[in-house]
Structure 1
Amino acid sequence: MNTLKVYNVLFLCTGNSARSIMAESILNAQSAGRFRAYSAGSHSVGSVNPHAIELLQRNHYKTDSLRSKSWDEFAAPGAPVMDFVFTVCDQAAAEVCPVWPGQPISAHWGVADPAAVTGTEEQRHRAFNDAFSVLSRRISLFMCLPIEKLSRLALQQEVSGIGRVVEPAPSTTSA
């Protein structure tokens, strides 16, 4: 019997309250068990942003097991070994992206932090929708990769390219 490997994927950002949480939920829901997604933050805020929960629930994603956690949890003995690590912090906003030690294939998939958006409720709602849309597109591209058929270098180039090709849409809000 030829069973396919289940790949562990860790999404990292600074606070682990919105972007990485949404990515974890999207990949777990859409991958049909092919991937097991996790999320963590280098400076976890300890709670999931309510706007992220509301957005995920509105799109019929499970949220009951989502929690904000430190990346230390995944560096501890007995933690799952990661095959892929993707940072989703926004370097354009001068966020310091965490670096994961070890040998997983990693890439930067920068997404503007919707939790940092101030303004009207509509502007915050739009920021979360934009982040969700970008993450969904990138995860869909990732799931289509023929992982078993690519060399490590080719796979590294592909996952890095996903973060460069699908950029967040520019904001249309006026100052």
Structure 2
Amino acid sequence: MKKSVAFICVHNSCRSQMAEGWAKQLGKDVLEAYSAGTENYPQVKPLAVEVMEEAGVDMSSHYPKLLSDIPEKVDMVITMGCNVDCPYMPCDHREDWGLDDPSGGPIEGFRETRDKIKENVEALIARIQRNDI
């Protein structure tokens, strides 16, 4: 049975979108992935879409979503390191990945963040497969 995971950030425009993209590609057999933010934002950051495309993950159809746009109850909630208190979401497991937001910086920062998120998603999938979560 798949585990549902919500990746949460402030604007759902970069890190949480990347995490959803990786989870859907790498964990399609074990994860049902969502992402959302706590505030409205007009679009996913173009550099986030670009660097994910470089890595073979298509996020061209992604758009920022709010918490109210995803299921109310998920198995896991993962925050990206927003340094904000996310509203309570019922879940069985919660963790924070403590990632810096590359927004406003050079494309290299987006690439570094993309690669860190990929490593984190791979580790998450491995923990689920070992029944550690």
TM-score by length of 2: 0.89
The one-letter amino acid of 1:87's match is: T
Secondary structure class of the residue paired with 2:48: helix
The residue that corresponds to 2:88 in the other structure is: 100
Is contact 1:12-1:40 (8 Å) kept?
yes
Secondary structure class of the residue paired with 1:54: helix
Residue by residue over 1:107-158, the C-alpha shift from the partner in whole angstroms, topping out at 9 and shown as x without a partner, is 11111011143xxxxxx111101111111111111111145744xxxx3xxx
Q: How many percent of aligned residue pairs carry the same amino acid?
A: 23
Measure, in 2, the Cα distance between the counterparts of 1:25 and 1:90.
19
Does residue 1:56 correspond to 2:52, yes or no?
A: yes
Matches within 5 A, 1:6-45: 6-45=2-41
Is contact 1:87-1:97 (8 Å) kept?
no
Query: How much has 1:66 moved relative to structure 2?
Result: 1.1
The one-letter amino acid of 2:73's match is: V
The residue that corresponds to 2:117 in the other structure is: 135
- Identify unmatched segments of 5+ residues in structure 1: 118-123, 156-175
Query: How much has 1:33 moved relative to structure 2?
Result: 2.5
Tell me the number of residue pairs that the alignment of Structure 1 and Structure 2 aligns. Answer: 133
Q: Which has the higher helix share?
A: 1
Consecutive aligned runs of 4 or more in structure 1 exceeding 6 Å deviation: none
Is contact 1:89-1:111 (8 Å) kept?
yes
The one-letter amino acid of 1:13's match is: C
Q: State which drifts further: 132-141 or 56-65.
A: 56-65
Is contact 2:49-2:58 (8 Å) kept?
no
The residue that corresponds to 1:109 in the other structure is: 97
Residue by residue over 1:22-50, the C-alpha shift from the partner in whole angstroms, topping out at 9 and shown as x without a partner, is 00000100013310111100013131000
The structure whose RCO (Cα within 8 Å, separation 6+) is larger is 2
Measure, in 2, the Cα distance between the counterparts of 1:139 and 1:32.
12
- Identify unmatched segments of 5+ residues in structure 2: none
The residue that corresponds to 1:164 in the other structure is: none
Measure, in 1, the Cα distance between the counterparts of 2:13 and 2:92.
23
Give RMSD over aligned pairs: 1.8
Task: Say which one has the larger Rg.
Answer: 1
